Every structure is written in C-alpha cells, then in structure tokens.
Amino acid sequence: MADYMIRDGVWKSLANFRLPESLGFGIVLAPVMYSATYSEGQWSQGELLPYGPIEILPGARALHFAEQVFEGMKAYRVGRPVANLFRARDNYARMRRSAERLAMHPVPEPLFFEAVNAVVGACTEIIPGKTGQSLYVRPFLIGTEPGYAVRASHSARFMVIANPSEIYATGPMKVLIEREQVRAAAGGVGTAKTGANYAASLLGSTRAVEHDYTVALWLDPTSRENIEELSGMNLFAVIGDELHTPVLNDSILPGVTRDSLIMLARAQGWTVIEKAMPVADLLRQISNGECSEVFACGTAAIVSPIGVIGDADGRRYQPNTIDGRARILREQLLAIQERRAPDPYGWTTEVVPLVKPRSQ
C-alpha cells in the first residue's frame, strides 16, 4: 500500500483553524479528513484533504441499507507536545468485527492506522489540552455501490474525521427506561458499531430527551427484563460492595471503556460481577439502598454518573451516591489516557505529529 497523498489546502486549513472557546462534544470539526476507496478488490491510495462535503451516488447501499460501520476513539494531548491514542488496536479490532458482521470488506489494519495517524498527526497542535478534553476521532466505512440487490457493496469508502471535544455529558445524567422498543435484536447487529443500532434507538432517545432525560436505557430484546446498555454507553451499578455490569451478549456493544474499567476495578481489589441485570432488581435495590450508585461509561462519555433513573410509569429512582466509585475510576482512567500516570497495560500509543514540509 502506497503512502497517502496530502491534498491542496490541507496546510492552509490547519493554519487558519482556531479552537473556539466552547467546544461541546462532536460539534467542532477538525479542518482535515482522510479518505480511501475500495473497488475491484483493491484499496486506493489514501488522501488527507481539507474537511468538506464528499460525493456519493444517490443509489449507494450506505444510504439505502445502512451499510456502514464506525468507531469512536480519542487522542489526548494534556501538557505534552505529542498526541497519544488510547487502546487504538481494540478499536481497530472492533471495527473489523463490525465490518465482518455486515459482510463489508474490512479496512486492512495498516490502512486504518495510516488514516488515524494522518488525521491525529495533522491535528496535533489543535488538540485541546485541558484534562477531559480530547480529539474525538471517528473512522467510518460506507458501502458505496449503488443497487437494490440486498447484498454487500463491492465498493466502499473509508474515512476518518475528528472533533476537538469536551467530555460528552456534563453533570449527572438522567436516564429513562425504554419499555416499548429495543435497540438491537437477538441475533441482529447489536454487537457491531453500526448506524443501524443508533437508528433503532432514535425514537426512544428523542422521546427521552423531550421528557428532559439525557438518554434512554435499553432492555434486552427477548424478555425485556434485563438491562442492556444506554445508547453509546455501557452501565455499571455499585451493589453492596460489588460493581455489577450486564454480561455481554449478542445485542450489547462490547465497550472498550467498559473493559478498561473492569480491569482497573479488579486491579484494586474490587469485585466485578458480569451477569444479566434485571431492571426490576436494580430499581428495588436503589429503593432499599442496596444499590448506592449507578454510572455509565463509553469513549465519549468516559465515566458519567447517573443521578436519576426514570420509568415509563413516571416513577423516578435516585441512587444515594453520585460520582463515588465513578469518580475514582474516571480519574484513574483519565490519568492513564492523558499519560499523567504510568500505563501498566500498554494502552496508550504516541502519534508522530505531521509537520508541513519547508518547501510548501
């Protein structure tokens, strides 16, 4: 595979870019992006180009059959000249599994890292540097072959865009149990990071937001009794002295942050229980005080406390503790992610900054 091209306008876009005062999450766009295409069994040379619209045929399967997969990862640069990624190989492995689940041609690992490193390397100087801030990196793969035959595309486009960002949720979240709909079907694409799962969640999530909740809490598609996840986040609860989280199944997205928290918790001697979590049990345990704390985690969310769980019947459940163990885990995780603490697991990797050649 050849090295990527740097298109006209890249250096100018970077030089003209100013970080706004207020970043939010996923709102500010990095001024450059990476793109490579797949057709006739081959990947094209990749290119780094100014951020902007792309052309896609209106009949492309991505637009009709939701033939797309993506990842969410972060680059940090807190008090350091060089950016670093967190567990990037795990994001690659998940994107590969997601693509395979949708019968798409997976992006080869060297191409994935060429793209991510190109965007992060180019954006090094514009990564916000306060703790909790980062460059949110969004690799995605879309099926571009037009046609209504229900099969995977023979052509695809792989891109990486990025957003200088704050933490996703500010303050304790209010979550609403979704009793009618499900986010993912048994045997469906719930374990893949694909837009289809988010599409299935949009009505429930929109309703939750309209009722002044932050996000919907999804139950399993079969019994509708067990907690699965929040859209884009996994859930933990402190029950007695133990940390509980739903065991992974074929409709829960296996979060990289979820896995990291389990490792950090166990490393400090906490008991972590991964098993089916009936929502009725959790609500009872919150009411009788057995469950003291509930929190969510994800790449975007990091570790976010949950202050209220609302049910469809209008009842609200409030754990006694907000941000107790969650704060401990968030601080430990962020310290490793931001390279302020030793990284015993080898989770972080540096990205060489992309420097403008003198001749340009």
Chain residues binding ligand COI by CB under 6 A are 72, 231-232, 298-300
Exposure letters 63-90 (e unless 16+ CB within 10 A, then b) = bebbbbbbbbbbbbbbeeeebbbbbbeb
Residue nearest to ligand COI (CB): 72
The type of residue at 19 is L
Region class of 93: left (phi > 0), else alpha (psi between -120 and 50), else beta: alpha
For residue 74, give the H/E element and its range.
strand 73-76
CB of 197 to ligand COI, least distance (A): 10
Residue 4 or 70: the one with the smaller Cβ distance to ligand COI is 70
Coil/strand/helix, residue 70: strand
CB of 111 to ligand COI, least distance (A): 20
Residue 231 or 337: the one with the smaller Cβ distance to ligand COI is 231
Tell me whether strands 5-6 and 272-274 are parallel, antiparallel or unpaired: unpaired
Residue 173 or 354: the one with the smaller Cβ distance to ligand COI is 173
CB of 257 to ligand COI, least distance (A): 8
Residue 14 or 95: the one with the smaller Cβ distance to ligand COI is 95
For residue 143, give the H/E element and its range.
strand 134-143
CB of 153 to ligand COI, least distance (A): 23
CB of 233 to ligand COI, least distance (A): 7
CB of 180 to ligand COI, least distance (A): 21
Residue 84 or 231: the one with the smaller Cβ distance to ligand COI is 231
Residue 13 or 245: the one with the smaller Cβ distance to ligand COI is 245
CB of 299 to ligand COI, least distance (A): 4
Residue 162 or 300: the one with the smaller Cβ distance to ligand COI is 300
Residue 135 or 354: the one with the smaller Cβ distance to ligand COI is 135
Q: Which residues contact 294 (CB under 8 A, 6 or more apart)?
A: 235, 236, 237, 238, 282, 286, 305, 306, 309, 319
Token pair belonging to 120: 């992060």
CB of 11 to ligand COI, least distance (A): 29
Residue 139 or 172: the one with the smaller Cβ distance to ligand COI is 139
Beta bridge partners of 85: 75, 349
- Do 341 and 335 meet the contact criterion of CB atoms below 8 Å apart? yes
Q: How far is CA 5 from CA 36, 233, 277, in A?
A: 10, 36, 49
Rounded CA gap, 61 and 8, in Å? 30
DSSP string, 72-141: -EEEE-SS-SSEEEESHHHHHHHHHHHHHHTT--PPPHHHHHHHHHHHHHHHGGGS--STT-EEEEEEEE
CB of 72 to ligand COI, least distance (A): 2
Q: How many CB atoms lie within 10 A of CB 359?
A: 4
